[in-house]
């Protein structure tokens, strides 16, 4: 049962791939897989931030909205205000990191439930995005902003996953994140600076949302104020499908990568099969229930 839980997401992914390979001869090609990776990289990076937050038994409902704000800030500065692309990008990431810091501060210092805090920041980020952009898409971006569009973006995403994996499993700070989520009091009594750690987690997540914004800009070639609206839940879905527990302290970031891929593979595979997207929504829902149940049952 334990091995099933640990490798469950991977098995699900492989089974899905095997199934779709039988349904369409266009599924198993490097071109198609490369496409899927490009399609999931934005949510993929969001989900790294979401993973570390969920590991602390928190949740971030604002990730997509903050990313959208980031993508508008960086593009509007570059196009409308003539700011050099690198500085505009940094400003966008700085804004998303600031939101992360605000979330972290409210959760750790004022001890408000993450669900409620991030629900608030979700609305605030969304409103600021609409106002700042006048709900208009920003086009004609400088070339530097779209450099990370395809394979380089995917490589960056995979590299970030690698770094996250190393930090979480091979460093003390990473293990402290798990301890914090598993038993915050134990972590505190063990001498871990839990408040500081919690804020750092949200700050890092915020920075990652900014990187996701850049990847989005690179992929679509525009600054889109309507972006990120479904991504809030998409990121959480990816984390849950990857086997990370919403109760904190358990899970891996590689699991999240697999969870992200599962969603992308299903969307791609079902489209190739000509199956209505309603079924994709249905299947995703069933997989989430399956993932959460398996996690709970394995700990009986």
Partner 1 sequence: MLVQRITLVVALVLAPAIARAQQPIIGLITKTETNPFFVKMKEGAQQAAKENGVKLITASGKNDADNASQVTALENMASAGARVILITVDDAKAIVPAIRKVRAKGVVVIALDSPPDPIDATDALFATDNYRAGTLIGQYARTALGNKPARIATLDAFPGHPVAAQRHNGFLAGFGLKAPAKTSGELGHPAEVVCMADSYGNQAKGQTGMENCLQKNPDINVVYTMNEPAAAGAHTALKAAGKDKNVIVLSVDGGCQGIRDVRAGNIAATAQQYPLKMAALGVAAGAAYIKSGKKPSGYTDTGVALIDSKNVKTGLELCFGTK
Partner 2 sequence: MTHAITATGLIKRYGHVTALDGADFELRAGEILAVIGDNGAGKSTLIKILSGAITPDSGQLEVDGKAAHFSSPIDARNAGIETIYQTLAVAPAMSVAENLFLGRELRRSGPLGAVLRMLDKPRMLRESALHMKELEIGIASMTQPVETLSGGQRQGVAVARGAAFARHVVIMDEPTAALGVKESAMVLDLIRRVKDRGLAVVLVSHNMPHVFAVADRVHIQRLGRRVGLFDTPAISMNDVVALMTGVERRP
Q: Which residues bind partner 2 (CB under 8 A)?
A: 166, 170-173, 175-176, 178-179, 182-183, 185-187, 189-192, 249-250
Least distance from partner 2 to the Cβ atom of residue 124, Å: 34
**Rounded-to-integer distance, Cα 258 and Cα 295, Å:** 16
Judged by beta carbon distances under 5 to 8 A according to partner kind, the member of partner 1, partner 2, none in contact with residue 182 is partner 2
For 135: left if phi > 0, alpha if psi spans -120 to 50, otherwise beta; the answer is left
Q: Exactly one of 10, 21, 24, 119 binds partner 1 (CB under 8 A); which one? A: 24
Side-chain-side CA neighbours of 32 within 13 Å: the count stands at 17
Nearer to partner 2, 82 or 191 (CB): 191
Nearer to partner 1, 32 or 90 (CB): 32
Least distance from partner 2 to the Cβ atom of residue 132, Å: 39
- What one-character DSSP code corresponds to residue 233? H
The reply to whether 151 sits near partner 1 by the rule CB under 8 A is no
> Is-contact 48 264, C-beta < 8 A?
no
Judged by beta carbon distances under 5 to 8 A according to partner kind, the member of partner 2, partner 1, none in contact with residue 274 is partner 1
Least distance from partner 2 to the Cβ atom of residue 1, Å: 13
Structure tokens that stand for 63 in this block: 């990730």
Nearer to partner 1, 76 or 176 (CB): 76
Nearer to partner 2, 173 or 233 (CB): 173
> Is-contact 30 262, C-beta < 8 A?
no
Q: Which DSSP string do the residues of 262-280 spell out, in sequence order?
A: HHHHHHHHHHHHT--HHHH
**Rounded-to-integer distance, Cα 275 and Cα 17, Å:** 16
Coil, helix or strand at residue 242: coil
Number of chain positions touching partner 1 (CB under 8 A): 37
> Is-contact 129 110, C-beta < 8 A?
no
Nearer to partner 1, 168 or 263 (CB): 263
Structure tokens that stand for 173 in this block: 């700070």
Buried b (16+ CB within 10 A) or exposed e, 123-134: ebbbebbbeebe
The reply to whether 173 sits near partner 1 by the rule CB under 8 A is no
The reply to whether 296 sits near partner 1 by the rule CB under 8 A is no
Of 53-112, binders to partner 1 (CB under 8 A) are: none
The contact set with partner 1 (CB under 8 A) reads 24, 26, 31-32, 35, 38-39, 42, 123, 130-131, 134-137, 139, 150, 216, 219-222, 224-227, 229-230, 267-268, 271-272, 274, 276-278, 281
């Amino acid at each position: 049962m334990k091995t099933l839980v640990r490798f469950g997401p991977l098995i699900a992914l492989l089974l899905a791939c095997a199934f779709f390979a039988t349904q369409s001869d266009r599924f198993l090609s490097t071109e198609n897989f490369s496409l899927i990776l490009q399609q999931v990289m934005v949510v993929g990076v969001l989900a790294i931030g979401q993973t570390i937050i969920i590991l602390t038994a928190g949740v971030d409902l604002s990730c997509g909205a903050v990313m959208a704000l980031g993508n508008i800030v960086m593009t509007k500065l570059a196009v409308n205000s003539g700011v050099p692309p690198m500085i505009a990008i940094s400003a966008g990431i700085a804004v998303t990191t600031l939101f992360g810091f605000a979330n972290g501060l409210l959760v750790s210092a004022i001890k408000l439930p993450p669900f409620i805090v991030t629900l608030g920041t979700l609305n605030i980020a969304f409103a600021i995005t609409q106002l700042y952009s006048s709900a208009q898409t920003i086009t004609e971006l400088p070339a530097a902003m779209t450099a990370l569009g395809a394979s380089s973006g995917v490589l960056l995403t995979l590299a970030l996953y690698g770094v996250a994996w190393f930090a979480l499993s091979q460093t003390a700070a990473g293990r402290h994140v798990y301890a914090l989520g598993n038993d915050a009091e134990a972590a505190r009594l063990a001498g871990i600076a839990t408040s500081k750690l919690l804020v750092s987690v949200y700050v890092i997540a915020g920075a990652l949302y900014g990187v996701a914004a850049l990847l989005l800009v690179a992929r679509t070639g525009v600054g889109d104020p309507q972006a990120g609206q479904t991504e809030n839940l998409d990121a959480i879905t990816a984390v849950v499908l990857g086997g990370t527990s919403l109760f904190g302290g358990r899970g891996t970031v590689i699991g999240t990568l697999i969870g992200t891929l599962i969603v992308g593979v299903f969307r791609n595979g079902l489209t190739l099969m000509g199956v209505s997207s309603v079924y994709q929504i249905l299947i995703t829902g069933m997989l989430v229930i399956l993932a959460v149940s398996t996690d709970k049952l394995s700990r009986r």
